[in-house]
Amino acid sequence: MPRSGADLALLLLAGFRSLVDGAMTELAAQGHDDVRPVHDFAMRAIAAGADNASELGRRLSVSKQAAAKTIAVLQDRGYVSRGADPVDARRKRLEVTPLGFEVLRAGEAIFDELRHRWEERIGTAQLEVLEQHLTALLGESPIRLDTPGWLARDLGEPV
Amino acid sequence: MPRSGADLALLLLAGFRSLVDGAMTELAAQGHDDVRPVHDFAMRAIAAGADNASELGRRLSVSKQAAAKTIAVLQDRGYVSRGADPVDARRKRLEVTPLGFEVLRAGEAIFDELRHRWEERIGTAQLEVLEQHLTALLGESPIRLDTPGWLARDLGEPV
DNA sequence: TAGACGTGGACAACCAGGTTGACTATTGTT
DNA sequence: AACAATAGTCAACCTGGTTGTCCACGTCTA
């Protein structure tokens, strides 16, 4: 049964969806029913140093306006806070709140748990091989999160 | 280097994106710069027998209204045609046009070519193993295409 | 030191692809 | 014949993107 290239693509998508859907469900069960993967990614980027909207936009390969919108909801839900930047009055410095970090932590744990289940099903070594191959194929690719809609939108350069 | 579950998810996403971006780019180069993966999926479903809007919506796990919108653009661009259904006057029967089939064919060829390149990089057997594992993990999962936005929207049941 | 230029943020208008809800026309069932 | 279910359409709305415009502030340089 020779697989088609399209099947392969679908398989990868299904894998991603499976993990993410699982994670969202579990996160919701833990009381964080208002977090989306987008938010997780954004918080992670903020925690990693993208502490203002423009920078966040750059990290996520998204316009600063889009980043600002995401920040607005994150702030609204208490996951990040914004304060004046002491050194540059143009900026509003972003910070992940304790609640935000809690979600981040929970998210990580859930993903790790899901991965662990996969390990149990196909074997630790096998899963590692799978990851290695994927990594080899893709490089440590920069995450591009102009995602919602990208399935349907105009193309960017290929990865 | 123990990989995290989140990395795994990102890896799968990156893989999918890589293939799809590549395919869109190539398809655009061949003159079909107005096709999105969504359209491809929809045409495929229509060709496979989902010959009316409601049915298409069901196949794609999407509301019939959403399906109708997709059909509208597909029709507008000449990829599918709609005619009266001789047996049921409520229905408008969908048909993929020759142009639509051409795109479908081209898309398949491109995906196969991309998959082939992956074969060359990690080896035919290795890629097959990867696919087998993924398939084992996911089952021959029904494709759920309520996708644009699902990264950011409310959760459905996990796959 | 003044002005030019660049950058951060905000606002508005727009788009794509989804959603629900309401309504009509037709078909199928009792 | 009456009623229920289904196909399609319209309208209003949501989310997460996009551009473009504008202002306030910082930085660089003539």
State pLDDT tens for residues A18-64: 888 888 888 888 888 888 888 888 999 999 999 999 999 999 889 99
Taking the C-alpha atoms of residue B54 and residue A57, their distance in angstroms, rounded to an integer, is 39
Delimit the domains of chain B by residue range: 18-138
Lowest model confidence (mean pLDDT) among A109-118, B76-85, B120-129, B143-152:
B143-152
Question: Which chain A residues are closer than 8 Å to B121 by Cβ?
Answer: 136-137
> Is residue A154 very low, low, confident or very high in pLDDT (cuts 50, 70, 90)?
very low
Fold classification of B18-138 is Arc Repressor Mutant, subunit A (1.10.10)
In the predicted structure, residue B80 carries a pLDDT above the cut 90: yes
Q: Which residues pair with B83 in a beta bridge?
A: B93
Fold classification of A33-138 is Arc Repressor Mutant, subunit A (1.10.10)
In the predicted structure, residue A5 carries a pLDDT above the cut 70: yes
Of B13, B37, B148, the CB nearest to A16: B13
Segment A64-91 shows an average pLDDT of 93
In the predicted structure, residue A140 carries a pLDDT above the cut 80: no
> Is residue B150 very low, low, confident or very high in pLDDT (cuts 50, 70, 90)?
low
CB B15 within 8 A of CB B7: no
**pLDDT > 90 in chain B, percent:** 58
In the predicted structure, residue B57 carries a pLDDT above the cut 60: yes
The set of residues, in sequence order, having a beta carbon less than 8 Å from that of B24 and lying 6+ positions away, is A155, B35, B36, B37
> Is residue A146 very low, low, confident or very high in pLDDT (cuts 50, 70, 90)?
low
Give residues 59 to 78 of A whose Cβ lies within 8 Å of B: none
User: Burial code of A62-100, b = ≥16 C-beta within 10 A, e = fewer?
Assistant: beeebbbebbebbbebebbebeeeeeeeebbebebbeeb
In the predicted structure, residue B127 carries a pLDDT above the cut 90: yes
B 60-119 residues, CB < 7 A, strand D: 64-65, 68, 88, 90-92
CB A143 within 8 A of CB A41: yes
> Is residue B140 very low, low, confident or very high in pLDDT (cuts 50, 70, 90)?
low
- Position B158 scores a pLDDT of 36
In the predicted structure, residue B119 carries a pLDDT above the cut 90: yes
Interface probe, candidates B130, B145, B154, chain A, greatest A C-beta count within 10 A: B130
Give distance CA B90 / C1' D8 (Å).
7
CB B109 within 8 A of CB B65: no
Taking the C-alpha atoms of residue B102 and residue B144, their distance in angstroms, rounded to an integer, is 24
In the predicted structure, residue B159 carries a pLDDT above the cut 80: no
Of A38, A112, A136, the CB nearest to B4: A112
Between these two residues, B26 and A21, which has the higher pLDDT value?
A: B26
For residue A25, which amino acid is it?
T
CB contact under 8 A, A114 and B21: no
**pLDDT > 70 in chain A, percent:** 86
DSSP code, position B4: P
Q: Which residue matches tokens 């809609």?
A: A149
